A and B are shown apart, each in its own frame.
Chain A
Amino acid sequence: MQLATLLIGLISATALWSGVQALNQQARTSYDRAAATFGGARTAMLVARTGVSFPQELFVELRRAGWPVSPMLEGRIQIEGRSFRLLGIEPVTLPAEVGSAPTIGKAGLQSFMTPPGEMLVAPETLSDLKLAEGARPQGDGGAPLPPLRVQTNLVPGVLVVDIGIAQNLLKMPDQLSRLLIGKATGRHPPLESVAGDKLRLVEADAETDLERLTDSFHLNLTAFGLLSFFVGLFIVNSAIGLAFEQRLPTLRTLRACGVSARMLNAVLVLELVSLALAAGLIGLVCGYFIAGALLPDVAASLRGLYGAQIPGHLTLKPQWWVAGLAISILGALAAAAVSLTKALRLPLLATAQPFAWQQAQRRWLTYQSAVALVAFAAAAGFLWFGDSLISGFAVLAALMLGAALILPMFLEIVLSLGQRYARAPLGIWFWADSRQQLSGLSLALMALLLALAVNVGVSTMVESFSRTFLVWLDGRLSAEVYVSAANDAQAHEIKAWLRERPEVEAILPGGRADTQLAGAPLEVLGLPDHATYRDNWPLLQSTENAWVKLRPGDAALVSEQLARRLHLSLGDRIEVPASGGNWTLNVVGIYADYGNPKSQIAVNFAALTRRFPEIPLTRMGLRVAPPKIPALISALQEKFGLDDRNVADQARMKAESTRIFNRTFSVTAALNAFTLGVAGVALLTSLLTLANSRLPHLAPLWAIGVTRRRLAAIELLKTTSVAFITTIFALPLGLLVAWCLLAIVNVKAFGWRLPFHVFPLQLLWLTGVAMAAAVAASALPVIRLARMQPTSLMRIFANER
């Protein structure tokens, strides 16, 4: 039995931990792939000091002056109404260390650079486009693009062409977006002497943008994995404790026969390590399946939240297996440490305990509470002084550690209060015995507390999120139908056609430009001056008549993320690099932009098209009376050959967004439920461990005339009441956790803060689940007790050794 629980504990600990690690590893590999795309943040580069591009001559001059630079042009093009990132490179000067370039090769170079050239794409992009290698898709203007060629280590969604071709396609002749800097071979003059103040150096970053953005997500996963791992170790710990307790007589006999303590320990460790190895292997296989099952959701989350592309199948490195086994063995040894030191110091004769249980318990409680207070102080310190995501998690970790450690003290206080007010002898015994059982159950109860608190915290967060998100989505998607045309010309035709339709109440053109602000990508959104936005757009803060102030084109609304990142408040000014130079904008409002990894600002649509004349004007929102929507959509699709991706109604977009966000949190929810289950198993093993040592406690009561059934009922009541007290303690802790997640971790991780809501029904439900888990965990030992043979109880009273 304890072998089974030991294995279950080790397997679930290893499985959850390594499953999470597999997911993280998988994602990291993909990010590396993304970073390998030329000009990721891992290369130092030069960019324009003002505006988004600069003249090509600067490249020639720098190159002549000995700078190891390579030109690059970046922009977006549309293929069949979908937008892709287009990178123009110059393969000859491309520094070797930026990644995929060498694979173009000498032979490939010729066909890449000479017309019609080649367009390199990831295999995923090719299948997305439903095209074969060598095909030539149609571009914006209807002209054929260079033939497609697959390059496996490219990120999906990116098209790579020769720089000349890119300049043509993007209608930016002789313009460059940036210069990548390779390893310097000789000395070169300072930048200013060659390029004046036109260019700015951006240092290489160890982390890519994507890694930085997704860090929080992975930290989140890791935190959960770690939590599950520890809860699993609780099980292992109690199983080993039980096994040791049962073997004590044998160990004593062996020692009495002259086997040295060291030898005995060596044997025990060897046994444990081989068990851990076996359990670790099974755990790894389970972990692989867990990761495989969660991967689609994780991939969807990462795509939805950060636009990161993760392939849908797992590839694991050998290190993963080794690390998994190591952690299983280390975990088992850590969990066994107490029992092993006991074995090492095992006195040959069982000696009477010098302290009564009460004194021993008081010492232990005082000690733990002192450590708990230190943990709380640390949490407060992190809260006060910390200003990063890591410190946010540190607050959470210290808070939970402190709460777990203070839990026994809390239980002790509640139970001794109960004992003080109990009058009936069985009542007094009920409380007194629960107190005495505390030390044996506390680890399992701590596991329950942590699992519950995290569950309360996360589900409160998810619920707060989905409530806020749905309201917000209603405001953001206020047009009934969204259309995205294949190109500007078609957009023009569509508009003309729509104006003739009486059911279309308004056509709201939209546009978007990509630029940079303070070293990070920035989206500039153009919104037409229309009541739809004035009435619905979700502003968090605004000056009076903010929408009117947008009209002249010198004001912007900024997203919460951007406002937090740059510490912007109403009335501040920002300088946004635009095509013709920098654009100075007044901040007149701050709006919620949940789930967007990029910073965003919203400006007047007409002003946007003036400042970024090259952006496609293919998107528009339509106000239509709801009953007329389906007919209009099918008419549009038929008339202009648009498919589902190009025309979408509001309901579908909402459903889509909601789905992405639900999937984002479904991973956490799954891990969450798992932790609660593991905590239940921990409680069960602790109760089973205690069951044997409890017989001397129960037998006298039985002999005195308390029936076994009654004893069993009392035992059940005892477990459920300590579990209940733990749950009561877990609820406020969970809400505190939720607050930390919403107000600290989320702000640091995503840049937005969510309003905090409490959901009483959900708390009630979780309390019910916890109580059900406690009842389920005590069922087996209690049934055993109720059915126990009288002889097993009688044996207690006779010294039969």
Chain B
Amino acid sequence: MTKGIPSATGPVLHVTGLTKSYRTAGEEVAVLRGVNLTVAAGESVALTGESGSGKSTLLHLIAGLDAADGGEIRLADASVAELSDAERAELRRDRLGLVFQQFNLVPSLTVEDNLAFQSRIAGRHDAAWHHELVERLGLGRFLKRYPEQLSGGQQQRVAIGRALAVKPLLLLADEPTGNLDEDTADEVLALARDLVKRSGCGFLMVTHSARLAATLDRQVNLHAGVIA
């Protein structure tokens, strides 16, 4: 495949000295002031911090959705900062799983097509893995439905399945249970943890719930632009 796609040995994510500031109304606001973070393969990490502390910003930079001001992000052996826009898109497509708080799914496609969407365009579709995901996420009954016909919890299960179908190196989730009630959140997260272990990828999840954070391997806190 293309250059810069890392292999799955060592830490999957290595962030050093990452900085990012936003200009709003002529004023520079430094959101990230030198973030260091490592996630190993098979490890699940909870990223906590108060609202507006820059958790989403950090996640977006790691995913290559936006460009950092300084510092380095290494995904396996690729340096995200050195990639072009198109190469970063390719990296996301082939090696990353992304789950957000909402609007993860393509509304015009059925659950089935949504689940296979990323793995197919990445050319990494694996029918056996796909079936296992459907089975474990309990989506068998809903395959022909459209996203808007599903409950919030069901939608997030499809989103997790879609992200993991591509067998990513790293699963990034930004408050994936933020719109769900407590019971559903627990259930969805349990499924996610379980599947992450099965696939052996790294897992970085943003949450502001200490209770949920406690269920992961490790917790890190973002405060005043750095991870303590």
Contact = CB atoms under 8 A, between A and B. Distances in A.
Interface string B73-115: 0000000000001100111111010101111111111000100
Contacts of A104: none
Given A790-B60, A797-B102, A797-B174, 9 more contacts: A353-B148, A356-B149, A425-B117, A429-B113, A700-B105, A704-B118, A705-B94, A794-B65, A799-B178
Nearest to A698: B106
Interface in A723-764: none
Mostly, the A contact residues are helix
A705 B148 contact: no
B69 to A, nearest CB: 14
Contact of B60 (A358, A696, A794, A799): A794
Nearest to A699: B103
B107 A357 contact: yes
Given A425-B116, A707-B89, A432 B121 contact: no
Contacts of B85: 707
Contact of A794 (B66, B122, B179): B66
Interface string B128-167: 0000000000000000011011000000000000000000
B86 A707 contact: yes
A412 B56 CA distance: 40
B106 A697 contact: yes
Q: Which 10 A-B pairs have the closest CB atoms?
A: A705-B93, A797-B100, A705-B92, A425-B120, A436-B108, A432-B108, A433-B108, A705-B89, A356-B146, A696-B103
B23 to A, nearest CB: 12
B63 interface: yes
A429 B89 contact: no
Interface in A403-453: 424-426, 428-429, 432-433, 435-436
A193 interface: no
A548 interface: no
12 contacts: A357-B108, A358-B146, A428-B109, A429-B106, A436-B107, A704-B98, A705-B122, A706-B89, A707-B89, A790-B66, A791-B66, A799-B102
Nearest to B104: A700
A428 to B, nearest CB: 6
Contacts of B60: 790, 794
B117 to A, nearest CB: 5
Contacts of A436: 107-108
Interface string A265-304: 0000000000000000000000000000000000000000
Nearest to B162: A704
Interface string A603-645: 0000000000000000000000000000000000000000000
Contacts of A429: 106, 108-109, 113, 117
Contacts of A696: 103, 107
A496 interface: no
A518 interface: no
A349 interface: no
A705 B91 contact: yes
Interface in A698-724: 699-701, 703-707
A700 B106 CA distance: 6
A793 B86 CA distance: 16
A796 interface: yes
A708 to B, nearest CB: 8
Contacts of A424: 120-121
Contacts of A353: 148
Given A357-B148, A358-B146, A798-B101, A697 B93 contact: no
A797 to B, nearest CB: 3
Contacts of B175: 798
B113 A428 contact: yes
Given A356-B148, A797-B100, A799-B101, A703 B65 contact: yes
A663 B63 CA distance: 65
Nearest to B66: A790
B192 to A, nearest CB: 17
A705 B56 CA distance: 18
Contacts of B90: 705
B22 to A, nearest CB: 9
A794 B66 CA distance: 9
Interface in B170-201: 174-175, 178-179
A793 B107 CA distance: 16
A353 B96 CA distance: 32
Contacts of B86: 707
Nearest to B94: A705
A798 B56 contact: yes
Given A425-B117, A429-B109, A436-B108, A703 B148 contact: no
Contacts of A790: 60, 65-66
Contact of A700 (B65, B93, B103, B113): B103
A706 B66 contact: no
A425 B113 contact: yes
Contacts of B146: 356-358
Most chain A beta-carbon contacts within 10 A, residue among B60, B91, B179: B60
A696 to B, nearest CB: 5
Contacts of A791: 66
A436 B106 CA distance: 11
A425 to B, nearest CB: 4
B148 to A, nearest CB: 6
B125 to A, nearest CB: 9
Nearest to B121: A425
A158 to B, nearest CB: 70
A356 B89 contact: no
A358 B147 CA distance: 11
A408 B85 CA distance: 38
Q: Which one of A700, A790, A796 has the greatest number of beta carbons of chain B within 10 Å?
A: A700
A420 to B, nearest CB: 13
A707 B86 CA distance: 6
B51 to A, nearest CB: 10
A697 B109 CA distance: 10
B95 to A, nearest CB: 9
Given A425-B121, A429-B117, A797-B174, A703 B63 contact: yes
Contacts of A428: 109, 113
A39 B113 CA distance: 79
Given A704-B92, A704-B98, A705-B94, A426 B148 contact: no
A210 to B, nearest CB: 58
A632 B194 CA distance: 106
Contacts of A435: 108
Given A356-B149, A358-B146, A705-B118, A797 B101 contact: yes
A425 B108 CA distance: 12
Nearest to B116: A425
A691 to B, nearest CB: 15
A429 B179 CA distance: 26
Interface in A646-700: 696-697, 699-700
B91 to A, nearest CB: 7
A426 B100 CA distance: 21
Contact of B117 (A352, A697, A699, A704): A704
Contacts of A796: 102-103
A358 B107 CA distance: 11
Contact of B93 (A706, A794, A797, A799): A706
Contacts of B179: 799
Contact of A798 (B117, B120, B174): B174
A624 B105 CA distance: 83
Contacts of A799: 101-102, 178-179
Contacts of A356: 145-146, 148-149
Given A357-B148, A704-B98, A707-B86, A797 B122 contact: no
Nearest to B163: A704
A97 B91 CA distance: 90
Contacts of B56: 794, 798
A125 B158 CA distance: 84
B50 to A, nearest CB: 15
A634 to B, nearest CB: 77
Nearest to B159: A700
Contacts of B121: 424-426, 704-706
